[in-house]
């Protein structure tokens, strides 16, 4: 890693001040036992349980010599064995092929997101790189139990800008293109005979079109068009292939689940919620029927749509506290693997028998955390200055009075994503050190209807940032936060928000932590990965068009207001980040140095958009803890 520490002229005074704050702050000695960062940010004990299609084996991720690899065991036996040999980055995504012989996993190099798909043959433990191409991204699209030897995946080998669809045969290793991207396609939708009859295409105005065709020999035709302010998502074809399940916000503020006839265009609503978008859709891999949907405003909740699973959902709700999801199921659909998440425990995996309607705990991802006291996450609603209601989560330290606390505003990335209730290692780490944590779903966050998303159009650094400002002012007024000890912290868009807060409202914060955040919207838009090109018009619609709105984008870019930054910053960057290039951090660091402002800067040469390797995560969180402690007080792990 490369570390730069700039402008140390008042370092000693700040260090002394940090100690004074620690002494004069809340009674931190009353906090529960200090949770080691290793337990929060190191490798999990085990994770990502998956059941084999025949229901006889289970796979999971676990460390081997400190690096996450795939392990397999026979259900009911203690014959666990590791079947992959990653020695550097760690495997984070794996799944079974339906032939019961192959485990597939994805891996990139140093965070460059040029994913390759690998297969392990469990009969002889041989491993193959199925997509051995440099500077190419390959990602899986579909598996189907009726075609156990085949995998559909997309790859930009023919043209770096475009994702074509390929069929891979696991027996022969042969790969053939089955969907050539005509220049506008951003996603493929195979039918239930593994034929590519649907696609999702971008439109010149930034909107999208749902394309369908009768067979792979026919041309695509447009079935539905969404303008850039609407939400549309294809989920797959109905069992008989005459209809398609879609998420659709046309005619409503929220995204609803519909089925649309691919010939006539006739559509009907299958499920909807009054105040929140469709979240998850659970479709049977055997019958291709929608079994359940979920929604998430303050907490996730499931709505069964098929009577065959209603009793299962009732039984599952009695297994454990928290929220659950069905993460894996065998081919017979008699055995499920479930993941339960809660705010005060790490994810727990259960095996569930549909016949017995009973479940068994398999493992917790971080069992050692059960020895410690974790802080509950509280849902709150905050009113922005224009009246918009912002759903948010407040995590307060346990054991001390919830008044006048140092606080971290932790801003999510995306920005078209959201914060949600559940176990959050950053929130637990911060609360355990004595800091209140506020996580705000500012306008533009997803899940709360299209009006909420569209309220953020071209509002980077303005209304979106005002929401964060208003949330801090709310916490101050409610008495939770000490106005003199508020930090802003975030990654990706959250990193941008940190820089924007430091530049546009420096009086609000005492310090900031930026992880892979863009500093100049102009250079960000000019350097997006080439395979994002079909979506660039939507980016312009949401953020701004650099060809016609250059002045506005510069005004919203922290780089051009760097001279206004007066708070110390910690900036972390991955050298191989394909989304927010290293130059985004380099240019703001150079500007801060020129202005003699204090900044700590660390670059990880083997990381991309975020820090995947536990060594790097632990290093950065260690630096962050010391940095935040210096300005907020609280507790510090040696």
pLDDT digits (tens, 9 = 90+) for 489-506: 999 999 999 999 999 999
Token representation of residue 99: 């032939």
Collapse the DSSP code of 316 into the 3-class scheme (helix H, G, I; strand E, B; otherwise coil) and give the result: helix
Amino acid 233: pLDDT: 96
Contact 409, 468 (CB under 8 A): yes
- By C-alpha distance, which of 487, 452, 453 is closest to 472? 487
pTM, two decimals, is 0.94
> CA geometry: angle at 98 spanning 96 and 99, to 5°?
105
Whether the upstream peptide bond of residue 415 has omega within 30° of 0, thus cis, is yes
Amino acid 13: pLDDT: 29
DSSP run (H or E) holding 188: strand 185-190
- Per-residue HEC secondary structure of 575-630 comes to CCCCCCCHHHHHHHHHHHHHCCCCEEEEEECCCECECCCHHHHHHHHHHHHHHHHH
If you search the block for the tokens 């490798």, which residue do you land on? 43
Token representation of residue 405: 């606390």
Token representation of residue 446: 């997803």
Alpha helices for 70-175 (secondary structure H): none
Residues above pLDDT 70, as percent of the chain = 96
Q: How far apart are CA 44 and CA 365, in angstroms?
A: 5
Collapse the DSSP code of 399 into the 3-class scheme (helix H, G, I; strand E, B; otherwise coil) and give the result: coil
pLDDT digits (tens, 9 = 90+) for 346-392: 999 999 999 999 999 999 999 999 999 999 999 999 999 999 999 99
Token representation of residue 60: 């999971």
Token representation of residue 390: 């912002």
Amino acid 27: pLDDT: 60
- By C-alpha distance, which of 330, 414, 320 is closest to 360? 320
Q: How far apart are CA 234 and CA 109, in angstroms?
A: 31
Say which residues have a Cβ less than 8 Å from residue 148's Cβ, sequence separation at least 6. 53, 97, 98, 99, 100
Amino acid 28: pLDDT: 73
Query: What is the Rg, in whole angstroms, of the alpha carbon atoms belonging to the chain?
Result: 25
Contact 66, 111 (CB under 8 A): no
Mean pLDDT by 10 residues, the chain (638 residues): 36 29 53 97 98 98 98 96 96 97 97 97 94 96 95 97 97 93 96 95 97 94 97 96 97 98 97 97 96 98 96 96 96 97 97 97 97 98 98 97 97 98 98 98 98 98 98 98 98 98 98 98 96 95 97 98 98 97 98 97 97 97 98 94
DSSP 403-432: SSEEEEEEE-SSSS----SS--HHHHHHHH
Q: Is the dihedral of CA 529, 117, 415, 40 positive or negative?
A: negative
By annotation, the residues acting in catalysis are 492, 577, 609
pLDDT digits (tens, 9 = 90+) for 24-67: 345 677 899 999 999 999 999 999 999 999 999 999 999 999 99
């Amino acid at each position: 890693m490369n570390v730069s520490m700039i402008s140390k002229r008042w370092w000693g005074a700040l260090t002394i001040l940090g100690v004074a704050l620690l002494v004069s702050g809340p009674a931190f000695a009353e906090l529960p036992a200090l949770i080691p960062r290793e337990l929060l940010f190191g490798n999990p004990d085990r994770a990502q349980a998956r059941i084999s299609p025949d229901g006889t084996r289970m796979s999971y991720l676990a460390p081997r010599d400190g690096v996450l690899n795939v392990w397999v065991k026979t259900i009911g036996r203690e014959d666990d064995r590791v079947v992959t040999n990653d020695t550097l980055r760690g495997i984070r995504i794996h799944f079974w092929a339906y032939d019961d012989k192959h485990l597939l996993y994805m891996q990139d190099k140093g965070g460059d997101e040029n994913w390759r798909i690998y297969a392990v043959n469990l009969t002889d433990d041989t491993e193959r790189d199925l997509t051995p191409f440099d500077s190419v991204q390959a990602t899986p699209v579909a598996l189907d139990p009726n075609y156990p030897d085949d995998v559909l995946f997309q790859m930009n080998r023919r043209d770096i800008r475009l994702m074509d669809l390929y069929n891979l045969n696991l027996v022969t290793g042969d790969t053939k293109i089955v969907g050539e991207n005509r220049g506008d396609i951003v996603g493929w939708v195979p039918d239930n005979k593994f034929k590519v009859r649907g696609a999702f295409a971008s439109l010149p105005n930034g909107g999208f079109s749902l394309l369908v065709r009768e067979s792979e020999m026919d041309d695509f035709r447009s079935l539905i068009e969404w303008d850039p302010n609407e939400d549309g998502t294809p989920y797959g074809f109905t069992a008989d292939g005459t209809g398609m399940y879609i998420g659709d916000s046309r005619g409503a503020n929220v995204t609803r689940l519909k089925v649309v006839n691919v010939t006539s265009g006739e559509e009907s609503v299958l499920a909807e919620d009054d105040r929140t978008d469709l979240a998850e859709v659970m479709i049977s891999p055997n019958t291709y029927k929608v079994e359940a949907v979920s929604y998430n405003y303050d907490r996730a909740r499931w709505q069964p749509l098929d009577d065959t699973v209603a009793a299962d959902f009732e039984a599952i709700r009695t297994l454990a506290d928290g929220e659950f999801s069905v993460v894996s199921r065998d081919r017979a659909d008699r055995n499920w693997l479930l993941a339960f998440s809660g705010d005060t425990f790490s994810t727990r995996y259960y095996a569930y028998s549909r016949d017995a309607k009973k479940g068994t705990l398999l493992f917790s991802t971080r069992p050692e955390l059960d020895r410690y006291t974790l802080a509950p996450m509280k849902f709150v609603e905050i009113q922005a200055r224009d009246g918009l209601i912002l759903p948010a989560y407040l995590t307060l330290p346990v054991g001390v009075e919830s008044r006048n606390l140092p606080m971290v505003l932790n801003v999510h990335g995306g920005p078209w994503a959201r914060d949600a209730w559940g176990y959050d290692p950053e929130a637990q780490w911060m609360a355990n050190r004595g800091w209140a944590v506020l996580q705000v779903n500012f306008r533009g966050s997803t899940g709360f209807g299209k009006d909420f998303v569209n309220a953020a159009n071209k509002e980077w650094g303005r209304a979106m940032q005002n929401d964060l400002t208003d949330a801090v002012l709310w916490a101050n007024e409610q008495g939770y936060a000490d106005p003199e000890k508020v930090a802003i912290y975030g990654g990706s868009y959250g990193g941008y928000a940190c820089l924007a807060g430091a530049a546009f409202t420096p009086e609000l914060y005492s310090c900031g932590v930026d992880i892979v955040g863009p500093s100049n919207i102009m250079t960000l838009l000019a350097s997006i990965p080439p395979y994002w090109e079909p979506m660039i018009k939507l980016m312009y619609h949401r953020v701004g068009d650099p060809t016609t709105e250059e002045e506005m984008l510069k005004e919203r870019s922290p780089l051009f207001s760097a001279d206004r930054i007066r708070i110390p910053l910690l900036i972390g960057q991955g050298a191989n980040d394909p989304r927010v290039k290293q130059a985004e951090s380099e240019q703001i660091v150079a500007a801060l140095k020129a202005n003699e402002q204090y900044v700590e800067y660390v670059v990880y040469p083997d990381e991309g958009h975020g820090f995947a390797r536990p060594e790097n995560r632990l290093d950065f969180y260690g630096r962050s803890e010391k940095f935040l402690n210096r300005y907020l007080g609280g507790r510090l792990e040696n």
